[in-house]
């Protein structure tokens, strides 16, 4: 089992408080290279906040985040993206006025080399100069990335490819979610965090998305997944972590967690919201 390897991502005692509310409360988590761990829990459990802490969009009040053994707690999101951590956003944050192509190219931003020489101090000025002059190396790099983007977009079949030059605001909701995932893939991530990738999708779209995530997993990508649709979670995950009111209340293989009385209690306690609701519907 992959679990035996040294973890790619490990969280220890991660905590974030908002005023009187502890949104994330002492979370420990280990994610092995190539593994897929899902985080489930009722609305407001703190799942998205946990993602924000891991990706540097928010800073923990206590605890640490280690990536490949390195302490990355409190690093800026820019630095973390450069280290190969990519995420999608629960409510969708595509760049509305950018075309699908440009949206996904932004995902590849950390891979720009020719046009972004790693020179201190005058680096940004060189970048400006190179962007205006565009020597052959810069052009070639841009072409390579564009080809890459086309290949990534093609993974979504005919859903996105014909719309690659359209602005993102004109896409359907499901397509915008796909653009987000394409953008994350363009980073060539070593760790991918997906925040409810199938929110608002119908069953056939959900099935497509599940197939894609499964494919990414077989390709060896390490994935942390937040998802309310339990069927999908059960089929994809090596391990499931259940959060409630900021705390981890259960952890283990899907089936075991599913029947855990504490988990059922947590969902019932929150008025059949979130996952329980999804499950009932299924």
Partner 1 sequence: MSSWLDYTINGLIVGNVYALVAVGLALIFGVSRLINFAQGSIYLVGAYIGWVAVVQLHTPLPLTIILVAVVAALVGLIIERFGLRPLQNSVRIAPLLATIGISFVLDQLVMLTFSPNPRALPSQLPDVRFQVGGGTIGPLDLLIAGVGITSALLLFVFLRYSKLGWAVRAASQDRDAAMQMGVDVNRVNQAVFGIAAALGGVSGMLVGMYYNQIDTAMSLQATLKGVVAEVVGGAGNVPGAVVGSLLLGLVESYGVAVFGTSYRNLFAFLLLVVVLVLRPNGLFASARQAPPEPLTGTFIAPSRPLRIPCWALSAAVAVFAILPLLPVSFYVLQTLINAWLLGMLALSLTLVAGTIGQVSLGHAALLAIGAYTSALLSLTLNLPVGLAIIAGGLMSAALGTILISPSFRLRGHYVSIATLAIGEIVSLVILNWESVTRGPIGISGIPPLSLFGYDLISPASIYWFAFAVMVVLALLQARLLSSHLGRSFRAIRDDDIAARAYGLSLNRYKSLAFIFGGFAAGVSGGIAAHLYSYINHETFNTQQSILALTVVILGGLGNVVGAIVGAVALVGLPEVFRIAAEYRILIYGIVLLLLVRFRPQGLLGTI
Ligand X SMILES: Nc1ncnc2c1ncn2[C@@H]1O[C@H](COP(=O)(O)OP(=O)(O)OP(=O)(O)O)[C@@H](O)[C@H]1O
Rule CB under 8 A: say whether 124 interacts with partner 1: yes
Ramachandran bin of 214, using left for φ above 0, alpha for ψ from -120 to 50, beta for the remaining angles = alpha
| Positions in 232-271 near partner 1 (CB under 8 A) | none
| Residue count, binding to partner 1 (CB under 8 A) | 47
Rule CB under 8 A: say whether 221 interacts with partner 1: no
- Least distance to partner 1 from the beta carbon of 225, Å? 17
- Least distance to ligand X from the beta carbon of 228, Å? 7
The CA distance from 175 to 163, in Å, is: 10
Rule CB under 8 A: say whether 128 interacts with partner 1: yes
Contacted by 131, from ligand X, partner 1, Mg ion, none: CB < 5 to 8 Å by type? partner 1
Name residue, tokens 């800026």.
76
Rule CB under 6 A: say whether 48 interacts with ligand X: yes
Contacted by 23, from Mg ion, partner 1, ligand X, none: CB < 5 to 8 Å by type? ligand X
- From residue 36 to residue 55, what is the string marking binding to Mg ion with x (rule CB under 5 A)? ------------x-------
The CA distance from 146 to 105, in Å, is: 7
Angle of helix 123-133 relative to helix 136-154, nearest 10 degrees? Answer: 80
Rule CB under 8 A: say whether 81 interacts with partner 1: yes
Question: Could you tell me which residues are beta bridge partners of residue 194?
Answer: 225
- Which residues 6+ apart lie within 8 Å of 139 measured at CB? none
Rule CB under 6 A: say whether 47 interacts with ligand X: yes
Rule CB under 8 A: say whether 112 interacts with partner 1: yes
- E strands of 95-210, at which residues? 191-195
| Positions in 221-280 near ligand X (CB under 6 A) | 274
Question: Could you tell me which residues are beta bridge partners of residue 160?
Answer: none
- Least distance to partner 1 from the beta carbon of 130, Å? 9
Q: Single out the residue of 1, 7, 53, 8 nearest to residue 27, CA to CA.
A: 53
Q: Is 273 exposed, middle or buried (0-12, 13-18, 19+ CB in 10 A)?
A: middle
Rule CB under 8 A: say whether 169 interacts with partner 1: yes
Q: Does an H or E element contain 265, and which?
A: helix 261-269
Residues contributing to the site for partner 1 (CB under 8 A): 18-19, 48, 52, 55, 57-59, 76-78, 81-82, 86-87, 89-98, 102-103, 105-107, 109-110, 112, 115, 124-125, 127-128, 131-132, 134, 142, 167, 169-170, 183, 187
């Amino acid at each position: 089992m992959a679990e035996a390897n040294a973890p790619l991502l490990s969280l220890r005692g991660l905590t974030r408080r908002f005023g009187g509310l502890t949104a994330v409360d002492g979370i420990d988590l280990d994610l092995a290279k190539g593994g897929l761990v899902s985080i489930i829990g009722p609305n407001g459990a703190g799942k998205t906040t946990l993602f924000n802490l891991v990706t540097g969009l928010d800073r923990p009040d206590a605890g640490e985040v280690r990536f490949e053994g390195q302490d990355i707690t409190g690093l800026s999101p820019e630095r973390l993206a450069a280290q190969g951590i990519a995420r999608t956003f629960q409510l969708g944050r595509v760049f509305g006025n950018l075309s699908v192509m440009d949206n996904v190219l932004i995902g590849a931003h950390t891979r720009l080399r020719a046009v972004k020489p790693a020179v201190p101090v005058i680096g940004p000025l060189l970048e400006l100069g190179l962007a205006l002059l565009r020597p052959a190396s810069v052009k070639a790099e841009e072409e390579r990335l564009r080809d890459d983007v086309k290949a990534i977009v093609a993974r979504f079949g005919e859903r996105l490819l014909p719309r690659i030059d359209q602005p993102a605001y004109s896409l359907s909701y499901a397509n915008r979610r796909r653009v987000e995932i394409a953008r994350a893939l363009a980073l060539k991530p070593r760790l991918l965090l997906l925040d409810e990738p199938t929110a608002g999708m119908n069953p056939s779209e959900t099935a497509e998305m599940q197939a894609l995530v499964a494919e990414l997993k077989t390709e060896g990508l390490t994935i942390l997944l937040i998802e309310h649709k339990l069927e999908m979670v059960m089929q994809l995950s090596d391990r499931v972590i259940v959060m409630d009111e900021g705390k981890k209340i259960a952890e283990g293989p899907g089936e075991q967690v599913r029947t855990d009385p504490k988990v059922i209690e947590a969902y019932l306690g929150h008025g059949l919201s979130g996952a329980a609701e999804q499950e009932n519907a299924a």
